[in-house]
Structure 1
Amino acid sequence: MDEQLKEAFINAKSKDKQVSYEAYRYILQATDKQVDWAYEVWEDLLEGLRSKNNHQRSQSVQYLANLAKSDPEKRMLSDLPELWEVTKDDKFVTARHSLQAIWKVGLAGDDLKERVMALMADRFENCMDEKNHTLVRFDIIQNMKHLYDQLEDEGIKQTALDLMHNVEDEKYRKKYLQVWK
C-alpha cells in the first residue's frame, strides 16, 4: 500500500468532514479494483464494524465489500455475518449505506454470491416489521440488479422476480419492478 492510501485511511477518521469525505471517496475508488494490500487493513476494518462512530461502521462495510474481490484467503466467508449485522444498524442511514454496498461481496466468487443472495432474499421476505421496510426491499432489489448486471446470472434475476411478484402491495411491486426495466 502506498503512502497516499495509508494517509487516506487515517484521514477517513478525521473530525474534519471535508477531509474525511475526500479520503472516503479516494479509498472507495482505490478499492474498486483488485488490490494486493487488502490484508494490511482487513482487521482494522473488521474492528471498524463495531466502532461507536456510525460513519466508521458504514465505511468499514463499504471498504470490506469492495475488498472482497481482493481476498484470496476467502476470509469474507467467515466475516460476512459481521458486515451483514451493520445492514441492520440502529442508525438507518448507516444500515442503508451498508446494505447498498453489500452486493459487491457477491462478486468475489460463487460461494459468496450464494450467501449474499440468500441473506438478501431472506431479509426481503422477513423485513416487514422493520422501520422503512419498503426502502430495505428496494435496496435489496437494486442490489440484485447490480449483481445481475455484473454477472449475468439468470438465477439472480429469477430470484428477484420471484420476490417482487410476491409483494402484495401493487404500488411497491411496480416500484421494485421498475428497477429491472
Structure 2
Amino acid sequence: MDHAAAQTMMDKLRSQDREVQNEAYYAAMEQTKEQVDWAYDIWDELKQDLTHPDNHNRSIASQLLCNLAKSDPEGRIFDDFAALMEVTKDKRFVTARHCLQSLWKIGMAGQPQKQLVMNGLADRYRNCMEEKNGTLIRFDIIQGLWNLYQYEPDESVKQLALDLIETEEDIKYRKKYAAVWRKSK
C-alpha cells in the first residue's frame, strides 16, 4: 500500500459513516495481522486519535497501533505505550476494554516489546481494583497474558500471570482468573 492508499484508509477510519468506518477497520485489522510496510504512513495520526473526541476513533487507533507494533522497526511503540495505557482507562469502558484486549499483540514484535507489555499489564493489574470494572480489567489482563503465552510459550509470561492471580484476595475471582491458565496445561 502506498502513502496515498494509506491516507485514504485513514480517512475512511475517521468517517462519520459507521459502515464506511467499520469496513475500513476490518480491512486494516486483517492487513495488520502480518507485517506491513506502510505503518509509519498512518502511525502519527493513529497516535493523535488515541485522544479523539469520538470513542470509536480512540478504540480503532489503539487496536491498530497494537497490531502495527510488529511493523515498527524504529521502536516508536516504546514512546507511545504510555498513551495506549491511558486508553485502557478511557471514560467509555468499551473503548478501554478494546485497547486492553489488544495490548498483548505488542509483545509479538520481540522480547523488548514483550517485556514492555508484561510490565505495563502487571502495573495495570495491581492498580485497577478501585475502578468500577476492576475485576473485568484483571480478567482481560490475565487473558492477554495467556494470549501472549499461546503465541510464544515463555515461562516468564506464565509465571507473571500466575503471580498476579495469587494476589487476588477474592477466591471467586482468583479461581476465575486461574481457569484461563488451566487451558494451557
Q: String of CA shifts for 1:47-106, please: whole Å, max 9, x gaps.
A: 111211111111111101000000111111111111111111111111111111111111
Distance in 2 (CA, whole Å) between partners of 1:95 and 1:43 is 20
Runs of 4+ in 1 over 6 A off after TM superposition: none
Match of 2:22 in 1: 21
Q: Which residue is equivalent to 1:62?
A: 63
d(CA) in 1 for partners of 2:162 and 2:147? 14
Structure-1 separation of matches of 2:9 and 2:40: 16
Q: Is the 8 A contact 1:9 1:27 kept in 2?
A: no
Give me the whole-angstrom Cα distance separating, in 2, the residues matched to 1:5 and 1:11.
10
Gaps of 5+ in 1: none
Partner residue of 1:7? Answer: 8
Match of 2:89 in 1: 88
Percentage of identical aligned residues: 51
Residue identity matched to 1:132:
N
Contact 2:125-2:138 at 8 Å conserved across structures = yes
Return the alpha-carbon distance in structure 2 between the equivalents of residues 128 and 80 of structure 1. 21
Partners of 2:80 and 2:166 in 1: CA distance: 32
Q: Report the number of matched residues.
A: 181
TM-score (norm 1): 0.95
Give the distance between the partners of 1:176 and 1:168, measured in 2 at CA.
12
* 1:39 lines up with 2:40 in the alignment: yes
Distance 2:145 2:70 in 1: 17
Measured in 1, the distance between the counterparts of 2:50 and 2:27 equals: 20
Alpha-carbon RMSD across the aligned residues, in angstroms, is: 1.3
Q: Relative to structure 2, which stretch is displaced further, 103-112 or 137-146? A: 103-112
Conservation of the 8 A alpha-carbon contact between 2:100 and 2:141: yes
Counterpart contact for 2:106–2:114, Cα < 8 Å: yes
Looking at structure 2, the residues matched to 24 and 119 of structure 1 have their Cα atoms a distance apart, in angstroms, of 26
Alignment map for 1:165-176 (pairs within 5 Å): 165-176=166-177
Pairing of 1:11-160 with structure 2 (within 5 A):
11-160=12-161
| Structure 1: distance between partners of 2:69 and 2:22 | 22
Q: What amino acid maps onto 2:135 in structure 1?
A: T
Once the two structures are superposed, residues 140-162 of structure 1 have per-residue CA deviations (whole angstroms, 9 ceiling, x without a partner) of 00000010011111100011011
TM-score (norm 2): 0.93
Separation in 1, partners of 2:152, 2:63 = 20
CA contact (8 A) 1:54 1:91 kept: yes
Instruction: Give me the whole-angstrom Cα distance separating, in 1, the residues matched to 2:56 and 2:175.
Output: 33
Which shifted more, 61-70 or 12-21? 12-21
Instruction: Provide the C-alpha distance between the structure 2 equivalents of 1:108 and 1:68, rounded to a whole number of angstroms.
Output: 6
Cα deviation digits, residues 156-179 of structure 1 (max 9, x gap): 001101111221111111111111
